[in-house]
């Protein structure tokens, strides 16, 4: 029987926070944080304080940059209920120290029951398929389990052989740091030259599950089942979990059997996705049978290994509930579908997700107004004895659609996440992230609106990685939002709502997609209406933001440098950016480059209310912004950020606006291709 040392966990608690904002920071072997969960609250361990806390849909998993668990650590941390500290049970909570801002308590961990089984899903993919990985992250993190979370723990990992391209190496490293769900095997990147064998054979060493005493006989396997699947397969996790309940956990082989073969004992399972019990994974790692016969059609080979070794006597054929995509109509999908394969295009993903979303039991369409939010993004959750207490992530959702049309035909509620993701917004004014988030007022509040197009999924995912990894220890509150006009394609109406529910960082404007036909005006004027509502000097309240930035989606902003640059700037009548023409350094001469410029909140409100601006909204957008301000005598406080804001030299500088990287860079523009990465 496994034994572990009981740990006393020192907890910093901010009293009187609303239950939905319950937060703990525990000083012990990294950071633990409590976040809302669909079945209560869970505590998760994070090895890097700036990384997001990760959850599986049916339990908790332990994020790592690469899936290589410490041998002396349990494969996942214990779960806890979020305690009601208004009436703390004496046995559970014992106050150690009370101060003006925090109560420090000791929590005696009460582990949640072990799940019935643990499943690792390995999605075999390629390093450069960024958009597909992010789509799959959406799909699996937003599936709400219909069974209790104690039924199964499901972990999803993305598996490839080597990252040989320098660009991919950088971007995959960002993914690993942000999500901790990447496995790099060290093999030749080819589906039928041993990749599947290497995946299974590598797992026992990577996931050594002994209890710290060196014993291999008393340990519990880290997983009961391991799945190999393709990156064009969609699994309905609730149906998958239900079909696995009560199945043998030894000598077990699960999947869609070869058609026209024995349905009760198929010779092999199709490669769209199949499952082996852990003992078979260990056998593959140690047997000469698969090692000497690793090259060939991978699904056929897996069956051949098992048949030759007289293994997998327990076989479960999922036919007809795992099948290839047939078409977009309701008749093309089965009610009890477990998986759909060959979703190689976004349109197929959209058809599949829409069908299973709208045909769930009890699913109804949301009211039209549910796609619209006018709540301003509050920064401080509360004040305790003049000390501000900030929740782990931004505490008010900010995604909004000014138009009611795009999301109305998609049932958002049935995709509610099991846990809230870390949004791309942050303010932590203390460098000691392991100790407390009770800190001072942020220096200022900045909204960065990245103007992009709905179809550019991969670019948004890259920008989320870039900005999320910069959010720790900022002294200003920064929100990053992705802004585009109305959705006009069927797949957009499905995939964009997935992004909204996962990241809560999209603003959909009531306009036709354009560059110089009023989109920038619509952005600024909509922001004023969306987050205004009596704020500012006339309303007598502090505005929701001090500054609003318009940025292109090929612009990389170094947030720390930008914040330092903005810190001494006036909060009113302020216009900041890289002045045009390129050979000028005079911010009052013309206008700021459209790569990215910043207006103070009063100017944003003025744009939203000015008839003169509204009547002259079409034209080259950055020139127009400068003209609006100049004609009205606005923007008297101007700051030219050159040479710290500049164009990437492609391939060499073409004018004074483009040059190589400089140490105090604020922003780099024209990063239209992934090789043009951010400066060091």
Measured CA to CA, the distance from residue 356 to residue 336 in angstroms comes to: 10
Global pTM value: 0.71
d(Cα 649, Cα 503) in Å, to the nearest integer?
A: 32
For the chain, report the end-to-end CA distance as a whole number of angstroms. 49
Residues 6+ apart with CB under 8 A from 100: 384, 385, 387
- Residues for the chain: how many in total? 680
CATH class given for the domain over 117-358:
alpha beta
- Residue 106 per-residue DSSP state: E
147 Cβ contact list (under 8 Å, min separation 6): 58, 238, 241, 242
Return the closest-CA partner of residue 319 out of 356, 280, 360, 265. 265
Between CA 251 and CA 249 the distance in angstroms is 7
pLDDT confidence of residue 398: 27
DSSP state of 433: T
Q: What is the DSSP string of 511-547?
A: S-S-SSSSHHHHHHHHHHHHH-SS-HHHHTB--S-SE
Listed residue (448, 482, 477, 455) closest to 557, CA to CA: 448
pLDDT in tens, 132-165: 999 999 999 888 554 445 789 999 999 999 998 9
* Closest by CA position to 437, among listed 393, 396, 383, 389: 389
In the DSSP assignment, the letter for residue 569 is S
Q: In this structure, how many other beta carbons lie within 10 angstroms of the beta carbon of residue 113? A: 8
Return d(Cα 614, Cα 522) in angstroms, integer: 9
Q: Are 548 and 574 in contact (CB under 8 A)?
A: no
Q: What pLDDT score does 258 carry?
A: 83
| Encoded tokens for 387 | 């000390």
pLDDT at position 144, please?
55
d(C-alpha 67, C-alpha 562), whole Å:
34
Q: What is the Cα–Cα distance from 467 to 451, expressed in whole angstroms? A: 15
- The pLDDT score that the predictor gives to residue 532 is 79
633: Cβ contacts below 8 Å, ≥ 6 apart? none
Could you tell me the two tokens for 193? 């030259």
SS3 481: strand
- pLDDT reported for residue 459: 94
Q: From CA 557, how far away is CA 567, in angstroms rounded?
A: 16
For residue 545, is it left (φ>0), alpha (ψ between -120 and 50) or beta?
A: beta
Portions of the chain given CATH number 3.90.550.10: 117-358, 398-669
DSSP 419: B
- Which pLDDT score, from 0 to 100, does residue 472 have? 85
The per-residue pLDDT for 588 is 87
pLDDT of residue 422: 31
Contact 243, 119 (CB under 8 A): no
d(CA 427, CA 368): 33
The sign of the torsion formed by the CA atoms of 288, 292, 298, 302 equals negative
User: What would the CATH number be for the domain defined by 398-669?
Assistant: 3.90.550.10
**Residue at token pair 């350094």:** 585
Q: What is the pLDDT of residues 167-218, one digit of tens each?
A: 899 999 989 988 899 999 988 888 788 999 999 999 999 887 543 334 444 4
- Confidence (pLDDT) at 526: 94
Q: Provide the pLDDT for residue 192.
A: 83
Contact 290, 298 (CB under 8 A): no
- Burial (CB < 10 A; 0-12, 13-18, 19+), residue 405, is middle
Q: Which two tokens stand for residue 569?
A: 């700037």
Please provide the DSSP assignment of 279-347 as one string: HHHHHHHH-HHHHTT--S-HHHHHHHHHHHTT---EEEE-TTSEEE---SSGGGS-TT--EEE---SHH
- Those residues of the chain that have pLDDT short of 70 are 1-112, 144-149, 209-219, 358-440, 533-540, 652-653, 674-680
């Amino acid at each position: 029987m496994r034994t572990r040392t009981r740990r006393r966990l020192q907890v910093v608690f901010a009293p009187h926070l609303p239950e939905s904002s319950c937060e703990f920071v525990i000083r012990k072997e990294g950071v633990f944080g409590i976040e809302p969960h669909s079945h209560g609250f869970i505590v998760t361990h994070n090895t890097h304080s700036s990384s997001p806390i990760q959850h599986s849909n049916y339990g908790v998993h332990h994020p790592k940059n690469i899936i290589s668990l410490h041998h002396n650590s349990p494969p996942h941390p214990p779960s806890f209920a979020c305690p009601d500290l208004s009436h703390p049970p004496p046995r559970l909570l014992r106050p150690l120290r009370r101060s003006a801002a925090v109560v420090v308590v000791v929590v005696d961990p009460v582990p949640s029951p072990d799940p019935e089984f643990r499943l690792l899903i390995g999605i075999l993919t390629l390093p450069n398929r960024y958009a597909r990985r992010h789509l799959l992250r959406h799909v699996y993190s937003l599936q709400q389990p219909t069974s209790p979370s104690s039924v199964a723990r499901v972990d999803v990992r993305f598996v490839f052989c080597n990252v040989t391209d320098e660009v991919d190496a950088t971007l995959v490293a960002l993914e690993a740091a942000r999500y901790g769900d990447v496995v790099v095997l060290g093999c030749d990147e080819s589906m039928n030259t041993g990749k599947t064998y290497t995946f299974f054979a590598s797992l026992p060493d990577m996931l050594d599950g002994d209890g710290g005493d060196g014993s291999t006989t008393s340990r519990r396997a880290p997983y009961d089942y391991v799945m190999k699947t393709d990156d064009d397969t969609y699994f309905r996790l609730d149906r998958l979990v239900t079909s696995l309940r009560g199945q043998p956990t030894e000598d077990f082989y699960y999947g869609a059997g070869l058609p026209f073969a024995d349905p009760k004992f198929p010779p092999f399972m199709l490669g769209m996705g199949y499952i082996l019990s852990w003992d078979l994974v260990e056998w593959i790692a140690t047997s000469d049978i698969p090692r000497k016969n690793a090259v060939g059609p991978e699904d056929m080979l897996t069956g051949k290994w098992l048949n030759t070794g007289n293994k997998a006597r327990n076989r479960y054929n999922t036919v007809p509930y795992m099948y290839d995509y047939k078409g977009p109509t309701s008749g093309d999908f089965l009610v009890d579908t477990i998986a759909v394969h060959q979703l190689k295009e976004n349109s197929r993903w959209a058809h599949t997700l829409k069908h299973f979303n709208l045909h769930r039991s009890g699913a109804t369409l949301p009211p039209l107004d549910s796609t619209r939010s006018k709540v301003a993004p509050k920064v401080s959750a509360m004040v305790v004895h003049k000390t501000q207490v900030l929740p782990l992530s931004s505490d008010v959702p900010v995604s909004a659609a000014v138009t009611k049309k795009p999301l109305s035909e998609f049932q958002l509620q049935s995709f509610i996440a099991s846990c809230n993701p870390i949004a791309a917004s942050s303010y932590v004014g203390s460098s000691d992230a392991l100790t407390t988030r009770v800190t001072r007022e942020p220096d200022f509040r900045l909204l960065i609106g990245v103007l992009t197009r709905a179809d550019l999924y991969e670019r948004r995912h890259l920008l989320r990685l870039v900005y999320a990894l910069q959010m720790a220890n900022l002294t200003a509150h920064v929100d990053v939002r992705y802004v585009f006009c109305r959705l006009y394609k069927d797949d957009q109406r499905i995939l964009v709502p997935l992004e909204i529910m996962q990241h809560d960082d999209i603003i959909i404007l009531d306009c036709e997609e354009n560059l110089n036909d009023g989109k920038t005006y619509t952005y600024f004027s909509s922001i004023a209406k969306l987050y205004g509502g009596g704020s500012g000097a006339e309303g007598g309240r502090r505005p929701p933001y001090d500054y609003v930035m318009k940025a292109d989606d090929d612009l990389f902003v170094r947030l720390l440098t930008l914040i330092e640059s903005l810190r001494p700037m006036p909060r009113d009548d302020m216009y900041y950016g890289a002045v045009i023409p390129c050979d000028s350094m005079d911010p009052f001469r013309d206008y700021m480059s459209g790569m990215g410029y910043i207006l103070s909140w009063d100017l944003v409100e003025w744009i939203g209310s000015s008839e003169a601006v509204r009547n002259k909204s079409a034209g080259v957008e950055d020139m127009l912004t400068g003209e609006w301000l100049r004609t009205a005598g606005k923007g008297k406080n101007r700051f030219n950020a050159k040479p710290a804001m500049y164009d990437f030299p492609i391939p060499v500088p073409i004018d004074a606006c483009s040059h190589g990287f400089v140490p105090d860079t604020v922003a780099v523009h024209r990063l239209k291709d992934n090789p043009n990465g951010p400066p060091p």
